[in-house]
Amino acid sequence: MIEDLLLNVHRPAQYLGNEWNASKKDFSSCPVSFALGFPDLYEVGMSNLGLRIIYGIINSLPGVVCERFFAPEADMEAALKNDKRRFFSWESHQELIRFDILGFSLGSELNYTNVLSILDLAGLPLISSLRNQEYPLVIGGGPCTLNPEPMADFFDLFIIGEAEEAIVQLLNLYAKLKDDYKAARLTKVDLLIQLSKVEGVYVPSLYKLEYNSTGELIKFSPGFPTLPSKIKKRIVSDFNAAYFPCDWMVPYVQTIHDRITLEIMRGCPNRCRFCQARSQYYPLRIRSKEKIVKLADLAYAASGYEELSLAGLSVGDYPEIETLVSDLTNRFSQQAVNLSLPSLKAKALLGNVSTLIAKTKKTGLTFAPEAGTQRLRQVLAKDFSEEEFFQAIAQAYQAGYQHLKLYFLIGLPDERPEDLQGIIDFAQGASEAKRKINGSAAQINISINPLIPKPHTPLQWQKMETIAAIQEKQSYLRSHCKNRRLKFNFHNFQMGFLEGVLSRGDRFLGKVILGAYKKGARFDAWSDYFSFTKWMEAFAESGIDPQKYLDEKPVSVLLPWDFIDTGVDKEYLIEEFNKTIAR
Ligand code: SF4
């Protein structure tokens, strides 16, 4: 029972569970129990499609129950500690410690301290080697597992890549081994060796790492002969037939994306050199139009949502985007269901798409030119044509759109002052283009993010710009833009710095993450909570200079994440990297 805890906490309804379409499986009658968690607020976690997919898949397995958990807000954390109570699952409010497995979806490095907070509140030792048979296994999946090393101390295993099929194999195997494991007839090491036979499963404690005198990794090798030396990222073999959560859950409280999210494709046909998502979801797979319309029908019928969003890395590249949007618009316009699309390619809008979407909802359109000049877009291999863009936005303004959102990166390789000025000029042109259509300029929201050269991208050897240089570039944009219709939104450069360090980090960072957690770091992705000071103190106390993780690296070094095979060849990454420095 958690009712008494709810009286004094912010948004208590977020902790209730029991939402429309939530699973009602009986915890005590299932031989295997899995708690699936998202280490951020409920409103963020329930907006995550991956979480809903894995939840549905696990609950479809006979004999396995899956319940959810999310990060508690500070007041709930304090209430649990005051009452000496343990953290619980959302469905039946079981203590998390009673589950066989706790699975975390790791979507952002800035959620790492929340993972530790949840483990602590659940009553688990934080370090994996201190958890014996009495405790749940702690496993991780999601985008951050493209470099799981900074969290290696805390997790028993990771699933690398898409977990839909791997999690079923893992749970089937666990179900067979559970009795022996819980009765101590099977040691934890032996259990983990068995589980590592599932392709895509990485057990950090079973690998040996060697470093040179300066702390650089020089060897990464399996500690047992049955283990693979490289972990192959999992991908769903038949995406068209892949599970989709048609019984769409409807939260009681407003979530960040309060709508049905329909994944229409996975992977991206483009090859932007800064993009980690491309390696994460490689190769490109397409869901058929007929299947998408059918899934939309089912999810709408099950939830009654009034908004449907098409999701994918580059939705504008969907082969039949115009007919898909037309079919969905025609089908749902009677029910007043809005259709929304994420960032688009101008090419996609040159057909009838903007007019079709505007029929139901005239929200802003989002584009990601990424750089202010064509020269720099070429360095990034960004497929973006200014000519198509200006044609497309003219159509969009004619169809009734009022404003645009543009995404740009700064701190790019070979970035020059004219590239920064190019951002202002480009946005100004986009604003003025509306004046030609209906006499008034458009408001342009410009999001500026520092480039984080992430693992498994051609820029992974590139240095990340220093905080001082990013600040200087932000100041340039602020001071050189006098147009009040251009609204800049700058990503917090200290958060960007930390994300850069954690995403490019190694196992030594475990003690820094633990140190920051002990100092009270939580919700590091939220500016209200984020404390750069706590992190800097944790780095200093651990004797680790964070800057070393952001420096340029020679392509010959062994990177902490090189043991992961994403399917994107390292030779290809090197070739592409060389193109960015040859100019
Ligand atoms: S940045 Fe976008 S378009 Fe480019 S590769 Fe990544 S997902 Fe594709």
| Digit-coded pLDDT (tens) for 54-74 | 999 999 999 999 999 999 999
Region 139-167: what's the mean pLDDT? 98
pLDDT at site 421: 97
- If one residue of 271, 272, 281, 412 were mutated to test the ligand 1 pocket, choosing by the most ligand atoms within 8 A of its CB, it would be 272
pLDDT band at 362 (very low <50, low <70, confident <90, very high): low
pLDDT band at 352 (very low <50, low <70, confident <90, very high): low
pLDDT at site 365: 84
3-state secondary structure of 441: coil
CA distances from 284 to 87, 265, 268 (A): 39, 7, 5
For 421-442, write each residue's pLDDT tens digit: 999 999 999 999 999 998 999 9
pLDDT at site 13: 95
405, pLDDT greater than 70: yes
pLDDT band at 336 (very low <50, low <70, confident <90, very high): confident
Region 522-546: what's the mean pLDDT? 97
pLDDT at site 402: 86
Are the C-beta atoms of 428 and 389 separated by less than 8 Å? no
Average pLDDT, the chain: 94
pLDDT at site 411: 96
pLDDT at site 364: 74
For 177-233, write each residue's pLDDT tens digit: 999 999 999 999 999 999 999 999 999 999 999 999 988 999 999 999 999 999 999
Phi and psi for 556 in degrees, rounded to 5? -80, -15
pLDDT at site 206: 98
360, pLDDT greater than 60: no
333, pLDDT greater than 90: no
| Percent of the chain surpassing pLDDT 90 | 89
582, pLDDT greater than 70: no
pLDDT at site 372: 95
Cβ neighbors of 425 (< 8 A, separation 6 or more) are 372
State the closest ligand 1 atom to the C-alpha of 313, by its place in the atom list counted from 1.
Answer: 7
**Which residues is 220 bridged to in the sheet?**
209
CA-CA-CA-CA dihedral for 44, 34, 146, 449, to nearest 10: 10
pLDDT at site 347: 67
Are the C-beta atoms of 212 and 544 separated by less than 8 Å? no
**Could you tell me if the CB of 272 is within 6 A of ligand 1?**
yes
Ligand 1 center–CA 268 separation, angstroms: 6
Q: Whose CA is nearest to atom 4 of ligand 1?
A: 272
Ligand 1 center–CA 171 separation, angstroms: 33
pLDDT at site 574: 97
346, pLDDT greater than 80: no
pLDDT band at 349 (very low <50, low <70, confident <90, very high): low
- If one residue of 273, 279, 281, 313 were mutated to test the ligand 1 pocket, choosing by the most ligand atoms within 8 A of its CB, it would be 313
Question: Does residue 357 or residue 341 have the better pLDDT?
Answer: 341
State the closest ligand 1 atom to the C-alpha of 370, by its place in the atom list counted from 1.
Answer: 1
pLDDT at site 288: 97
Are the C-beta atoms of 262 and 311 separated by less than 8 Å? yes
Region 347-373: what's the mean pLDDT? 72
- Report d(CA 282, CA 438) in Å as an integer: 42
CA distances from 556 to 404, 475, 553 (A): 43, 36, 8
3-state secondary structure of 273: coil
pLDDT at site 366: 87
* Region of poorest pLDDT, from 126-135, 258-267, 394-403: 394-403
Closest CA to 516 of 498, 538, 501: 538
User: Which amino acid is residue 466, in one-letter code?
Assistant: T
For 317-330, write each residue's pLDDT tens digit: 999 898 999 999 99
pLDDT band at 350 (very low <50, low <70, confident <90, very high): low
pLDDT band at 359 (very low <50, low <70, confident <90, very high): low
Ligand 1 center–CA 195 separation, angstroms: 34
pLDDT at site 18: 94
Q: Tokens standing for 402?
A: 């009022």
**Could you tell me if the CB of 275 is within 6 A of ligand 1?**
yes
pLDDT band at 142 (very low <50, low <70, confident <90, very high): very high
